[in-house]
Amino acid sequence: MELKIYDNKEEVTDALAEFIIIDISIKLEKQNHYSFVLAGGNSPQLLYDKIAIKSKGKIDWSRVYFFWGDERFVSFSDERSNAKMAFYHLLNKIPIDKKHIFKVNTDIDIDDSVEEYSNTVKKFLEINGSFDFVLLGVGADGHTLSIFPNTDLIKDTSSFVSKSYNQDQNTFRITLMPKIINAASIISFLVTGSEKADVVKRIFTGNDNVNQIPAKLIKAENGELFWFLDKEAASLIKDDDLKVRQ
């Protein structure tokens, strides 16, 4: 695990954008394609804008495959759609191969959608082994992906894809599960803002278990885990906390 702390949101998203672009460029020199699992919510929007700008002329985007870590079960036209956000801030701005975009199908029954997305992911990973890069965020309640505190999904160690329900937003979600996220070559959290400082501290201490903080389920089994934070999000972390987490 490696922790990277920057002065503000502008700087941390700049750094992570460069990090991702470099990783894609290096890996595409050695392999035919690159798989990128996108995060949703508000945090990655500026990051995606920066990737689109900074990557011009540097990446053959037609060789990049896109997946989503989770998706709210709403239509693509809904403002809450993670896919819509990613298209607006990134995918519509880069020269991609549309056949390489694997978004969650929210136009069918939710159980059918879980099965469809699970089969898509399984088929891809059977050929390619693991994802190259997974981008994650963390909620103030400690959730990551769509795995929320004190829910049955925390105990699920076998599923590739599952569904969950978020009471606060009255919304069903479909999510990739830690089983395949943890096998990725690189996993990176992006966390910014003072409202995340408390949960970040709790993640980096041993006082809360995975039921309370599902983000602690994420561990790089064979690859690397990075935390990109701004100073506000990292403001409550102490050196002793990091020793416990490592």
Domain residue ranges of the chain, discontinuous segments joined by +: 2-245
Beta strands (DSSP E) in 143-214 are: 161-166, 171-176, 186-191
Q: Cα(19)–Cα(135) distance, rounded to whole angstroms? A: 12
Q: Reduce the DSSP state of residue 175 to 3 states and report it.
A: strand
Please state the three-class secondary structure of 34-92 as a single string: EEEEECCCCCCHHHHHHHHHHCCCCCCHHHEEEEECEEECCCCCCCCCHHHHHHHHCHH
Contacts of 30 (CB under 8 A, 6+ apart): none
- Using one digit for the tens of pLDDT, what is the confidence trace for 132-166? 999 999 999 999 999 999 999 999 999 999 999 98
- Using one digit for the tens of pLDDT, what is the confidence trace for 164-209? 998 877 889 999 999 999 999 999 999 999 999 999 999 998 789 9
Contacts of 214 (CB under 8 A, 6+ apart): 142, 143, 144, 145, 147, 148, 149, 151, 153, 154
Contacts of 239 (CB under 8 A, 6+ apart): none
The tokens describing 143, both together, are 């959730």
Q: Cα(78)–Cα(170) distance, rounded to whole angstroms? A: 14
Report the predicted TM-score, pTM, of the whole model to 2 decimal places: 0.95
- Using one digit for the tens of pLDDT, what is the confidence trace for 7-22? 999 999 999 999 999 9
Q: For the beta carbon of residue 155, count every other beta carbon within 10 angstroms.
A: 8
pLDDT at 75 over 70: yes
Cα Rg of the chain, angstroms: 17
pLDDT at 244 over 70: no
Q: Which CATH class is domain 2-245?
A: alpha beta
User: What was the pLDDT predicted at 242?
Assistant: 56
